Amino acid sequence: MSQQYYKELIQLLDQSYAPYSGFNVASIIVCNDGGVYKGVNVESAAYPTTICAERNAIHTAVTNGVKKGGVQEVHILARNDTGSLIRAFPCGSCRQVIAEQSSNDAIVYCYNENGDVVMHTIVELLPFAFLGDEL
**Contacts of 108 by beta carbon, 8 Å cutoff, 6+ apart:** 73, 74, 76, 89, 90, 98, 119, 120, 121, 122, 125
Is the predicted pLDDT of residue 1 greater than 80, yes or no? no
Q: Which domains does the chain have, with CATH numbers?
A: 2-125 (3.40.140.10)
Q: Which position has the higher pLDDT, 74 or 4?
A: 74
Question: Are 29 and 39 spatial neighbours (Cβ–Cβ below 8 Å)?
Answer: yes
pTM of the model: 0.96
Is a pLDDT exceeding 90 seen at residue 135? no
Please tell me the predicted confidence (pLDDT) of residue 2.
73
The more confident residue out of 2 and 131 is 131
Which residue of the set 8, 43, 54, 113 is catalytic? 54
- As a whole number, mean pLDDT of residues 13-31 equals 98
Question: pLDDT value at position 69?
Answer: 96
Which residue in 20, 80, 88 sits closest to 53, CA to CA? 88
Q: Which amino acid is at 104?
A: N
Supply the mean pLDDT for the chain.
Answer: 96
Q: Is 90 exceeded by the pLDDT of residue 134?
A: no
- The reply to whether 124 belongs to the active site is no
pLDDT(84) > 70: yes
